[in-house]
Amino acid sequence: MKIPFFTLVFLLINLSCQTNPCKMTADEFEQKGSYLGKVHISKNEACPVYITIEGVFSKSSIVDFHTIYPINLARKFKKDGLYLQFNYSVSRAMSPQGCKTDGVVSLENVEKSKATAGIKLQ
């Protein structure tokens, strides 16, 4: 009785591993920037520069914030409507008073991107 039960469990595990493989490719692990964001510049609002995260480049990326205030965005990327590909880490820095973003972050691996790139968020 024990042998058929263990055989059945083994077969089910083996079958499930073959029908549901990991969906990430090797390229996704080497992705330079995991997030797609659009830069917004405003001189009249509390946040002079903020980024809305509009997509991801990796299925494993978790989107914690939808609007971020970057503390180290290079001058060449501070253009309204510019799409960027980047990674970020949460910063302990303070945002400007009255700035209503979801988080203050430090950007890494920043590159220009296209609006059509990545997997769009709903």
User: Regarding beta strands 67-70 and 119-120, do their DSSP bridges make them parallel or antiparallel, or are they unpaired?
Assistant: unpaired
Mean pLDDT for each consecutive 10-residue tract of the chain (122 residues)? 65 55 49 83 89 85 88 95 94 90 93 85 70
Q: Please, which residues bridge with residue 86 across strands?
A: 35
Domain at 24-120: CATH code: 2.40.50
Note if the pTM is more than 0.75. no
- String of b and e for 47-58 (b: at least 16 CB within 10 Å)? bebbbbbbbbbb
pLDDT recorded at residue 66: 92
